[in-house]
Amino acid sequence: QIYFIGEDHLNFSEGLANSNYTGEVFIKPQFEPSMGEKLKSSLHPHDIVVIKGSRGAGTERFVEFCEPLHWSPKK
C-alpha cells in the first residue's frame, strides 16, 4: 500500500500511474483520519511501516494509528 499526502499529490499520482505498481494507493492533498484508520486495519503482526515525509505535510499523524511502542509525538 502507498499513502501519499501533500501538495505534490497530483504529480505523485501521475508518476505512479507510469509505474508498474499494482497495489492499493491512497493519495490526498491533506491527511484524513480515514487514511490512518485504513492503514491501521491493514496491519498484521510483524509488519513494517515506513513513514517518510515532512512536518509540514503532517505525515507523523499516521504513526499514532499504528500504535507503536515507546513513541510519543513531538511537542
Report residue 69's pLDDT band, with 50, 70 and 90 as the boundaries. low
Residue 61 lies in a domain: yes
Residue 26 forms part of a structural domain = yes
User: Is 75 contained in some domain?
Assistant: no
Instruction: Write down the pLDDT at residue 17.
Output: 94
Per the structure, the count of domains in the chain is 1
Please state the rounded mean pLDDT for residues 44-69. 82
Q: Is the pLDDT of residue 71 over 70?
A: no
26 is in which domain, residue-wise? Answer: 2-65
pLDDT averaged over every residue in the chain: 87
Q: What is the pTM of this model?
A: 0.76
The β-bridge partners of 4 are 27
Cell triple for 14: 501521475
pLDDT at residue 28 greater than cutoff 90 = yes
Question: 31, 30, 25: which is closest to 13 by C-alpha?
Answer: 25
